[in-house]
Structure 1
Protein backbone atom coordinates (compact mmCIF):
# COMPACT_ATOMS: atom_id res chain seq x y z
CA UNK A 1 0.00 0.00 0.00
CA UNK A 2 2.73 2.49 0.87
CA UNK A 3 4.87 3.66 -2.00
CA UNK A 4 8.22 1.94 -2.33
CA UNK A 5 9.70 5.43 -2.07
CA UNK A 6 8.21 6.04 1.39
CA UNK A 7 11.09 6.06 3.88
CA UNK A 8 10.42 3.92 6.94
CA UNK A 9 12.07 5.46 9.95
CA UNK A 10 9.47 4.84 12.65
CA UNK A 11 8.42 1.46 13.96
CA UNK A 12 4.76 1.73 13.00
CA UNK A 13 3.73 1.40 9.39
CA UNK A 14 0.58 3.38 10.07
CA UNK A 15 2.17 6.47 8.56
CA UNK A 16 0.10 9.25 6.90
CA UNK A 17 0.48 7.74 3.41
CA UNK A 18 -0.83 4.38 4.60
CA UNK A 19 -3.67 5.98 6.60
CA UNK A 20 -4.72 7.88 3.47
CA UNK A 21 -4.71 4.65 1.47
CA UNK A 22 -6.79 2.88 4.14
CA UNK A 23 -9.32 5.73 4.12
CA UNK A 24 -9.89 5.13 0.41
CA UNK A 25 -11.32 1.69 1.37
CA UNK A 26 -13.65 2.53 4.29
CA UNK A 27 -15.49 -0.80 4.00
CA UNK A 28 -12.32 -2.73 4.83
CA UNK A 29 -11.95 -3.25 8.53
CA UNK A 30 -9.52 -6.19 8.60
CA UNK A 31 -5.77 -5.99 8.11
CA UNK A 32 -3.31 -8.86 7.67
CA UNK A 33 0.21 -8.22 8.96
CA UNK A 34 3.50 -10.04 8.65
CA UNK A 35 7.09 -8.87 8.70
CA UNK A 36 10.29 -8.57 10.65
CA UNK A 37 11.06 -7.38 14.15
CA UNK A 38 7.77 -8.48 15.68
CA UNK A 39 8.60 -6.78 18.99
CA UNK A 40 8.99 -3.40 17.27
CA UNK A 41 7.40 -2.86 13.86
CA UNK A 42 4.65 -5.48 13.93
CA UNK A 43 3.72 -4.59 17.51
CA UNK A 44 3.63 -0.83 16.89
CA UNK A 45 1.63 -1.18 13.69
CA UNK A 46 -0.80 -3.66 15.24
CA UNK A 47 -1.46 -1.53 18.30
CA UNK A 48 -2.00 1.56 16.14
CA UNK A 49 -4.43 -0.31 13.87
CA UNK A 50 -6.34 -1.75 16.84
CA UNK A 51 -6.65 1.76 18.27
CA UNK A 52 -8.21 2.86 14.95
CA UNK A 53 -10.78 0.07 15.22
CA UNK A 54 -9.36 -2.40 12.71
CA UNK A 55 -9.38 -6.16 13.15
CA UNK A 56 -5.73 -7.16 12.89
CA UNK A 57 -4.67 -10.65 11.84
CA UNK A 58 -1.00 -11.29 12.54
CA UNK A 59 0.49 -14.17 10.54
CA UNK A 60 2.61 -15.60 13.35
CA UNK A 61 4.74 -17.92 11.22
CA UNK A 62 5.49 -15.02 8.84
CA UNK A 63 6.77 -12.71 11.58
CA UNK A 64 10.32 -12.80 12.87
CA UNK A 65 12.58 -11.19 15.43
CA UNK A 66 16.27 -11.33 16.12
CA UNK A 67 15.45 -13.46 19.17
CA UNK A 68 12.80 -16.10 19.69
CA UNK A 69 12.04 -14.65 23.15
CA UNK A 70 11.23 -11.23 21.66
CA UNK A 71 9.11 -12.86 18.98
CA UNK A 72 7.09 -15.00 21.38
CA UNK A 73 6.59 -12.25 23.96
CA UNK A 74 5.49 -9.80 21.25
CA UNK A 75 3.02 -12.28 19.73
CA UNK A 76 1.61 -13.00 23.18
CA UNK A 77 1.24 -9.26 23.83
CA UNK A 78 -0.54 -8.78 20.51
CA UNK A 79 -2.91 -11.63 21.29
CA UNK A 80 -3.67 -10.10 24.70
CA UNK A 81 -4.24 -6.72 23.03
CA UNK A 82 -6.93 -8.11 20.73
CA UNK A 83 -5.10 -9.10 17.57
CA UNK A 84 -5.91 -12.42 15.97
CA UNK A 85 -2.94 -14.75 15.56
CA UNK A 86 -3.05 -16.96 12.51
CA UNK A 87 -0.72 -18.96 10.28
CA UNK A 88 0.26 -18.58 6.65
CA UNK A 89 -1.83 -21.57 5.66
CA UNK A 90 -4.77 -20.37 7.72
CA UNK A 91 -4.81 -16.91 6.19
CA UNK A 92 -4.37 -18.26 2.65
CA UNK A 93 -7.31 -20.62 3.03
CA UNK A 94 -9.46 -17.89 4.60
CA UNK A 95 -8.74 -15.63 1.65
CA UNK A 96 -9.73 -18.37 -0.81
CA UNK A 97 -12.89 -19.21 1.20
CA UNK A 98 -13.69 -22.34 -0.83
CA UNK A 99 -11.94 -25.28 -2.47
CA UNK A 100 -13.84 -24.42 -5.66
CA UNK A 101 -11.86 -21.15 -5.92
CA UNK A 102 -10.10 -21.08 -9.32
CA UNK A 103 -6.68 -20.73 -7.61
CA UNK A 104 -7.22 -23.46 -5.00
CA UNK A 105 -5.28 -26.22 -6.79
CA UNK A 106 -2.39 -23.85 -7.41
CA UNK A 107 -2.34 -22.74 -3.77
CA UNK A 108 -2.77 -26.29 -2.50
CA UNK A 109 0.59 -27.17 -4.06
CA UNK A 110 2.18 -24.48 -1.90
CA UNK A 111 0.70 -25.70 1.38
CA UNK A 112 0.66 -29.48 0.85
CA UNK A 113 3.99 -29.96 2.65
CA UNK A 114 3.83 -29.28 6.39
CA UNK A 115 5.71 -26.18 7.47
CA UNK A 116 8.86 -26.63 9.56
CA UNK A 117 8.54 -26.15 13.31
CA UNK A 118 8.33 -22.42 13.92
CA UNK A 119 8.75 -22.62 17.69
CA UNK A 120 5.30 -21.10 18.20
CA UNK A 121 3.48 -23.99 19.86
CA UNK A 122 4.51 -22.80 23.32
CA UNK A 123 2.50 -19.64 22.69
CA UNK A 124 -0.70 -21.65 22.69
Structure 2
Protein backbone atom coordinates (compact mmCIF):
# COMPACT_ATOMS: atom_id res chain seq x y z
CA UNK A 1 0.00 0.00 0.00
CA UNK A 2 2.92 2.34 0.62
CA UNK A 3 3.79 2.17 -3.08
CA UNK A 4 0.18 2.68 -4.19
CA UNK A 5 -0.33 5.62 -1.84
CA UNK A 6 3.16 7.06 -2.48
CA UNK A 7 3.98 6.89 1.23
CA UNK A 8 7.55 7.24 2.41
CA UNK A 9 8.70 4.46 4.72
CA UNK A 10 11.55 4.45 7.19
CA UNK A 11 12.56 1.30 9.02
CA UNK A 12 14.40 1.02 12.30
CA UNK A 13 15.82 -2.10 13.86
CA UNK A 14 16.50 -2.42 17.57
CA UNK A 15 20.01 -3.78 17.96
CA UNK A 16 19.73 -6.06 14.88
CA UNK A 17 22.94 -7.96 15.68
CA UNK A 18 21.28 -9.34 18.81
CA UNK A 19 17.58 -9.24 17.89
CA UNK A 20 17.63 -9.81 14.13
CA UNK A 21 16.85 -7.79 11.03
CA UNK A 22 13.53 -6.71 9.57
CA UNK A 23 11.77 -9.68 7.98
CA UNK A 24 11.80 -9.65 4.16
CA UNK A 25 8.07 -10.50 4.07
CA UNK A 26 7.33 -6.84 4.78
CA UNK A 27 8.61 -6.01 1.30
CA UNK A 28 10.52 -2.90 2.34
CA UNK A 29 13.22 -3.69 -0.23
CA UNK A 30 10.57 -3.74 -2.98
CA UNK A 31 9.57 -0.11 -2.44
CA UNK A 32 10.67 2.40 -5.07
CA UNK A 33 13.87 4.17 -3.96
CA UNK A 34 12.11 7.55 -3.55
CA UNK A 35 9.74 6.00 -0.97
CA UNK A 36 12.28 3.98 1.02
CA UNK A 37 14.05 6.26 3.48
CA UNK A 38 16.31 3.41 4.54
CA UNK A 39 16.78 0.98 7.38
CA UNK A 40 18.52 2.32 10.45
CA UNK A 41 19.83 0.29 13.36
CA UNK A 42 19.41 1.75 16.83
CA UNK A 43 19.81 1.10 20.51
CA UNK A 44 17.54 3.97 21.56
CA UNK A 45 14.07 2.62 22.30
CA UNK A 46 12.41 5.46 20.36
CA UNK A 47 13.00 5.41 16.61
CA UNK A 48 13.77 9.14 16.64
CA UNK A 49 17.54 8.91 16.50
CA UNK A 50 19.46 11.87 15.00
CA UNK A 51 19.99 9.87 11.79
CA UNK A 52 16.28 9.05 11.46
CA UNK A 53 15.24 12.65 12.21
CA UNK A 54 17.53 13.90 9.46
CA UNK A 55 16.05 11.39 7.00
CA UNK A 56 12.49 12.41 7.93
CA UNK A 57 13.10 16.13 7.54
CA UNK A 58 10.23 18.53 8.17
CA UNK A 59 9.29 19.04 11.83
CA UNK A 60 11.64 16.22 12.80
CA UNK A 61 14.80 17.48 11.04
CA UNK A 62 16.18 19.64 13.82
CA UNK A 63 15.03 17.55 16.75
CA UNK A 64 18.54 16.78 17.92
CA UNK A 65 20.23 19.86 16.45
CA UNK A 66 18.53 23.21 16.94
CA UNK A 67 20.83 24.78 14.32
CA UNK A 68 19.69 22.40 11.57
CA UNK A 69 17.61 23.82 8.76
CA UNK A 70 14.03 22.55 8.75
CA UNK A 71 12.99 21.05 5.43
CA UNK A 72 9.37 22.12 4.93
CA UNK A 73 8.96 19.32 2.40
CA UNK A 74 9.84 16.66 4.97
CA UNK A 75 7.55 14.23 6.72
CA UNK A 76 4.67 15.89 8.54
CA UNK A 77 2.69 12.92 9.86
CA UNK A 78 3.88 9.58 11.11
CA UNK A 79 2.13 6.23 11.15
CA UNK A 80 3.80 3.88 13.58
CA UNK A 81 3.92 0.09 13.44
CA UNK A 82 6.25 -2.33 15.15
CA UNK A 83 7.24 -4.80 17.76
CA UNK A 84 7.05 -4.37 21.49
CA UNK A 85 4.10 -2.03 21.83
CA UNK A 86 5.06 -1.12 25.38
CA UNK A 87 8.70 -0.28 24.65
CA UNK A 88 9.83 0.91 21.20
CA UNK A 89 6.38 1.61 19.76
CA UNK A 90 5.30 3.43 22.93
CA UNK A 91 8.42 5.57 23.20
CA UNK A 92 8.36 6.40 19.50
CA UNK A 93 4.70 7.44 19.73
CA UNK A 94 5.38 9.56 22.83
CA UNK A 95 8.27 11.30 21.08
CA UNK A 96 6.12 11.96 17.99
CA UNK A 97 3.24 13.29 20.11
CA UNK A 98 5.64 15.47 22.09
CA UNK A 99 7.23 16.82 18.92
CA UNK A 100 3.78 17.73 17.67
CA UNK A 101 3.13 19.97 20.72
CA UNK A 102 -0.57 20.06 19.87
CA UNK A 103 0.18 21.59 16.46
CA UNK A 104 -0.35 19.70 13.26
CA UNK A 105 -1.41 16.11 12.72
CA UNK A 106 -1.21 13.66 15.59
CA UNK A 107 0.85 10.49 15.17
CA UNK A 108 -1.12 7.33 14.39
CA UNK A 109 -0.37 3.88 15.80
CA UNK A 110 -1.93 0.99 13.90
CA UNK A 111 -3.39 -1.32 16.55
CA UNK A 112 -3.33 -4.31 14.22
CA UNK A 113 0.32 -3.73 13.32
CA UNK A 114 1.94 -3.69 16.76
CA UNK A 115 2.78 -6.63 18.95
CA UNK A 116 4.46 -7.64 22.16
CA UNK A 117 6.18 -10.69 23.56
CA UNK A 118 3.54 -10.31 26.32
CA UNK A 119 0.21 -9.81 24.49
CA UNK A 120 -1.38 -8.26 27.59
CA UNK A 121 0.97 -5.28 27.15
CA UNK A 122 -0.66 -4.24 23.88
CA UNK A 123 -4.00 -2.96 25.20
CA UNK A 124 -2.37 -1.13 28.10
CA UNK A 125 0.16 0.52 25.78
CA UNK A 126 -2.46 1.52 23.21
CA UNK A 127 -4.56 3.03 25.99
CA UNK A 128 -1.60 5.00 27.35
CA UNK A 129 -0.77 6.27 23.86
CA UNK A 130 -4.37 7.28 23.17
CA UNK A 131 -4.49 9.26 26.41
CA UNK A 132 -1.22 10.98 25.48
CA UNK A 133 -2.26 12.51 22.16
CA UNK A 134 -1.74 9.60 19.78
CA UNK A 135 -4.44 8.39 17.40
CA UNK A 136 -4.97 4.62 17.53
CA UNK A 137 -6.63 3.04 14.50
CA UNK A 138 -6.61 -0.05 12.32
CA UNK A 139 -4.51 -0.29 9.18
CA UNK A 140 -7.45 -0.60 6.80
CA UNK A 141 -9.21 2.40 8.34
CA UNK A 142 -6.11 4.56 7.95
CA UNK A 143 -5.43 3.32 4.41
CA UNK A 144 -8.95 4.30 3.30
CA UNK A 145 -8.50 7.64 5.07
CA UNK A 146 -5.31 8.22 3.09
CA UNK A 147 -6.94 7.11 -0.17
CA UNK A 148 -9.71 9.61 0.54
CA UNK A 149 -11.88 9.10 -2.53
CA UNK A 150 -12.92 6.28 -4.85
CA UNK A 151 -12.14 8.61 -7.76
CA UNK A 152 -8.43 8.53 -6.83
CA UNK A 153 -6.44 7.46 -9.94
CA UNK A 154 -5.05 4.40 -8.15
CA UNK A 155 -8.26 3.36 -6.38
CA UNK A 156 -8.76 0.22 -8.52
CA UNK A 157 -5.27 -1.01 -7.67
CA UNK A 158 -5.87 -0.10 -4.01
CA UNK A 159 -9.26 -1.84 -3.91
CA UNK A 160 -7.85 -4.96 -5.58
CA UNK A 161 -5.11 -5.23 -2.95
CA UNK A 162 -7.62 -4.71 -0.11
CA UNK A 163 -9.71 -7.57 -1.51
CA UNK A 164 -6.67 -9.82 -2.01
CA UNK A 165 -5.56 -9.21 1.57
CA UNK A 166 -9.04 -9.51 3.12
CA UNK A 167 -8.36 -12.86 4.80
CA UNK A 168 -4.92 -11.75 5.99
CA UNK A 169 -6.41 -8.54 7.36
CA UNK A 170 -9.14 -10.43 9.20
CA UNK A 171 -6.66 -12.94 10.60
CA UNK A 172 -4.27 -10.20 11.68
CA UNK A 173 -7.03 -8.28 13.43
CA UNK A 174 -8.05 -11.43 15.28
CA UNK A 175 -4.49 -12.33 16.18
CA UNK A 176 -3.21 -8.87 17.06
CA UNK A 177 -6.29 -7.38 18.65
CA UNK A 178 -8.61 -10.34 19.18
CA UNK A 179 -10.83 -9.92 22.20
CA UNK A 180 -8.40 -7.50 23.84
CA UNK A 181 -10.19 -4.18 24.35
CA UNK A 182 -8.33 -1.26 22.87
Q: TM-score range by the shorter chain?
A: 0.7 to 0.9
Aligned residues: 122
Q: Distance in 2 between matches of 1:61 and 1:7?
A: 24
TM (normalized to structure 2)?
A: 0.60
Aligned to 1:66: 117
Given that 2:123 and 2:180 are in contact with CA atoms closer than 8 Å, whether structure 1 keeps it comes out as no
Q: Which has the higher contact order (CA 8 A, sep 6+)?
A: 1
Aligned to 2:50: 16
Q: Distance in 2 between matches of 1:84 and 1:99?
A: 24
Range 14-23 or range 77-86, more displaced: 14-23
State the Cα distance separating 1:120 from its structure 2 match. Answer: 5.8
Q: Distance in 2 between matches of 1:27 and 1:3?
A: 15
Given that 1:39 and 1:70 are in contact with CA atoms closer than 8 Å, whether structure 2 keeps it comes out as yes
Aligned to 1:107: 158
Deviations, residues 40-99 of structure 1 (Å, cap 9, x unaligned): 111000101111116101111011111221111111110111100111101111111111
Does residue 41 (structure 1) correspond to residue 76 (structure 2)? The answer is no
5+ unaligned residues in a row in structure 2: which ranges?
A: 1-9, 11-36, 62-70
Q: Which runs of 4+ in 1 moved over 6 A?
A: none
SS at match of 1:122: coil
CA RMSD of aligned residues (A): 2.1
Aligned to 1:31: 78
Given that 2:47 and 2:88 are in contact with CA atoms closer than 8 Å, whether structure 1 keeps it comes out as yes
State the Cα distance separating 1:26 from its structure 2 match. Answer: 5.7
TM (normalized to structure 1)?
A: 0.85
Q: Distance in 2 between matches of 1:120 and 1:94?
A: 25
Q: Distance in 2 between matches of 1:120 and 1:12?
A: 28
Q: Distance in 2 between matches of 1:27 and 1:79?
A: 25
| Rg larger for | 2
